[in-house]
Amino acid sequence: MIPASFEYLRADSTAEAISLLAEHGPDAKILAGGHSLLPLMKLRLAAPPVLIDVARIRQLSYIRDLGDHVAVGALTRHCDVQRSTLLQAEVPLLAHVAGVVGDPQVRHRGTIGGSLVHGDPASDLPAAVLALGATLVITGPAGTREVSAQEFFRGFLETAVEPDELLTEIRLPKMGGAGWSFQKFNLRAQDWAIVGVAAVGPQAGGGIALINMAATPVRAVAVEQAVAAGASAVDAAGSASAGLDPPTDLNASAVYRRHLASVLVRRALQEIETQPSR
C-alpha cells in the first residue's frame, strides 16, 4: 500500500530536531532508518502528518569507551554495532544481537535508537539492553535525562520518550568477561522471534530478558531471583513465564510461548554455566 500524504522535514542537528518536534507537536514522528515506521505507514496503521528525518545527524552515530561503560549514539546502525571491536570485547551480547536483527538490508539502514524507541516486544535489541541493565539518555527542550532500560518501555509500542524528545544515547555497562547467551526461536532467519531470550552471567548483573512474552520487552524477574538464590538452570527456567501474559497470534498460542520461554531460558542458563567467560 501507499502511505498517507505527509510533510517531510530534515534535521541536521539534535537541536534542530528537538526544535522541529516542539514546533509540530504530537503530529510529528522521527524517521531514522525507517524500518520500523515505514512498514506501519504503508499499511496505514500509522499516518503521521509530519516526518522529521534525523538520519543525517552524524553527531548521534558513535561508539565510545567511557571507562566503566560503553556509550552508543542512538543513530548508530545495527551493522556498526555488530562490527564494533569495542563492543565485541566489552559488551559482546549487544554486538551479537545486532548481527541477527532482520536481514543485511535492515542491519545497514536500521538504527539501535530507532529499534528501542519503537518498543516492539518482538524485537531483539530491547531485550539485550534490558538484560544488560542499560541506561538511555533522552534529550528534549529542558535538556537531557537518564532512564533505566527497565523503566524505558511503558506499554505496547510506547516508551518513556515524550513527543518533544529524542533518544540520543545508550549507555551499556561493560560485561567484564561475564558469560552471556542469546536464544531466539523463529520460523525463518529474518522473522520476528516467536520467543527469545537475552541473558548475562552474574558478573554482569545476571539480567535475563524475554522477547515476545508480554505487551512490552520484559525482564524474567522470577528466573533472575531463582538463579540468585542458587536454583539450577532447569528449576529456574520453570518460572520463565511467571507473572507474564504472552500473546496468542497466528504464529503461536500463549501456552506454546510459555513452553518455548522455559526451553530457551534453560538453554541460555546452561550455555552461560558452561562458558562463564568469553
Please, what are the domains in the chain? 7-53 (3.30.43.10), 58-173 (3.30.465.10), 180-274 (3.30.390.50)
Residue 45, all three cell numbers: 496503521
Q: Look at phi and psi of residue 230 and say left if phi exceeds 0, alpha if psi is from -120 to 50, else beta.
A: left
DSSP-derived 3-state class of residue 235? helix
Collapsing DSSP to helix, strand or coil, 31 comes out as strand
What's the predicted TM-score (pTM) here?
0.93
> Mean pLDDT over residues 10-26, rounded?
94
| Mean of pLDDT values over 213-222 | 97
CB count, 10 Å around CB of 25?
A: 10
Task: Judge whether 180 and 272 are in contact, CB under 8 Å.
Answer: yes
Nearest alpha-carbon partner for 227 in 192, 190, 194, 178: 178
- Calculate the CA 228 to chain-centre distance: 24
Location of C-alpha cell 527497565: 150
pLDDT in tens, 165-202: 999 999 999 999 999 999 999 988 778 899 999 999 99
Q: How do beta strands 50-53 and 7-10 pair?
A: parallel
- Render the burial of 200-234: b for 16+ CB within 10 Å, e for the rest: bbeebebbbbbbbbbbbbbbbbbbbebbeeebebe
Q: How far apart are alpha carbons 105 and 107 in whole angstroms?
A: 5
**Mean local confidence (pLDDT), 259-266:** 98
SS3 label, residue 183: strand
Place of cell 558452561: 274
Look over the chain and give the mean of its residue pLDDT values, rounded to a whole number.
94
Mean pLDDT score, 108-127: 95
Q: Name the most confidently modeled range: 24-33, 38-47, 62-71.
A: 62-71
Any alpha helices (H) in the chain, and if so which ranges? 14-24, 37-42, 78-83, 85-90, 92-98, 104-109, 112-118, 124-132, 149-152, 221-228, 233-237, 254-274
- Residue 144 reports pLDDT greater than 70: yes
